[in-house]
Amino acid sequence: GGKVAINTTIINFNKEKMQITWATREILPNENVSFFYTFDEGKHKVWKPCTTYLLDQDYNSGCLFKTEGPTLAISIRSSNGSEELFFKIFKTDFYIKPSPPENVTFFWEEDTVTVSCNKPKRSALCLTLELQYKSKFDKEWQSRTSKCCSVGEQGFDPRKCYSFRVRLWRLSRHCNVENYSSDWEAETFWMNGTLLDSCDDDVTPQSKTVIVLSCSQAVLLMMLILLILLCKWQRVQTSVLPAIPDPKYSFADLFNDHNGNLQEWLVKNDHVVLQTKLEYEEPESITEAESQQEDGKNSDKQGPLEKIFTFSGAAENNDGKAAEIACLIPAPNTTAPFGGFHILMNDDMYVML
């Protein structure tokens, strides 16, 4: 009714509070309207002015007031209230927006979950309970509805974390003009019947154990690899850079008794050097004698061409020092007999005695 067609939205919050909003900015851009209402049904209505306005850029766009009866009449007027621009009368029970469900409980049995809430004191038959859920791998919510006040669903994976939320719907046609639903109850997070703070915390004790074991194995593997690399590096270092022996261990008396004085140590240890030389030469002489005996035996077996030849001067000389000589450097252009042949020898050749 009224002179101007104004779009209005009517919400009755669970039969406790009314909210009426209107859109007049497009029709009356420069006028700030006023609002009046009454729950009286007789001819003599007592209109009440709005005491709590909703504002849109400093313009009145709605009004909040207490629900006081089943029938409501509203009037939108000019700013001073003298001219009525819009009038409407309606039943408040057809615009009910239910409150969020109270005392929501979750019952888990294997892969099935049943969600229930307290049954409202009024108009429970006009309500349905909606359950929405999704795992952290899902992008969109899955929805299930049932009559108030219990709804169930199956097929939940115990290894996944799920987000749940529920709300109540007011049935249209039979109970409401508008299809209003309640606000969502607080979202909860569940995994295999266990309530979590969020799906980011869905790390089970088993997975924690797996993580700890994996980290331990990784550390042990790293230590083994480092040990192998260290051993190989020591071998490479030893082969490339061999250790230089410290002379103080071989000549301890040189450094301990003579403070590194080489001349003093040589004077004091002359007999030791001579004895060391003799000890060094004796095995060599023995080795050469044994070598000569073996060569003699081999020469007998292999023939006269493989006999070791000697110089005549050395054979006639019985001096003991001549027997100790292992190699003779021949004079230039020396002729040596060998198996009936005479060989001309130069500086680069030698013979074994």
Q: How far apart are CA 301 and CA 297, in angstroms?
A: 7
Burial class of residue 240, CB neighbours in 10 A (0-12, 13-18, 19+): exposed
Domain end call among 75, 97, 119: 97
150 and 117 inside one domain: yes
- 120 with 184, same domain: the answer is yes
Q: Please give the pLDDT value at position 31.
A: 84
In whole angstroms, what is the distance from residue 171 CA to residue 173 CA? 7
| Cβ partners under 8 Å of residue 107, min gap 6 | 113, 114, 115, 116
pLDDT confidence band for 246 (50 / 70 / 90)? low
For residues 115 and 159, membership in a common domain is answered with: yes
Residues of the chain with pLDDT > 90: what percent? 31
Amino acid at 82: S
Does one domain contain both 44 and 14? yes
The residue from 42, 70, 97 where one domain ends is: 97
The residue among 164, 178, 102, 104 whose CA lies nearest residue 136 is 164
- Give every CB contact of residue 150 below 8 A, 6+ residues apart in sequence: 114, 115, 116, 117, 129
Which range of 52-56, 197-201, 299-303 scores highest in mean pLDDT? It is 52-56
Tell me the pLDDT tens digit for each residue of 152-207: 998 999 889 999 999 999 887 778 888 899 999 999 999 988 899 888 855 454 55
Position 346 pLDDT exceeds 70: no
Cα(295)–Cα(284) distance, integer angstroms? 16
Taking the CA of residue 56 as centre, how many other CA atoms within 13 Å lie in the half-sphere pointing to its CB? 15
Tell whether 93 and 110 lie within a shared domain: no
Q: Is 105 helix (H, G, I), strand (E, B) or coil?
A: strand
Looking at the fold, whether 79 and 111 belong to one and the same domain comes out as no
Identify the top-confidence range among 49-53, 210-214, 280-284: 49-53
Question: How confident is residue 113, by pLDDT bands cut at 50, 70 and 90?
Answer: very high
What is the identity of the amino acid at 280? Y
CATH code, domain with 139: 2.60.40.10
Interatomic CA distance for residues 176 and 323, integer angstroms: 135
Number of domains in the chain: 2
- From 50, 56, 53, select the one nearest 72 (Cα to Cα): 50
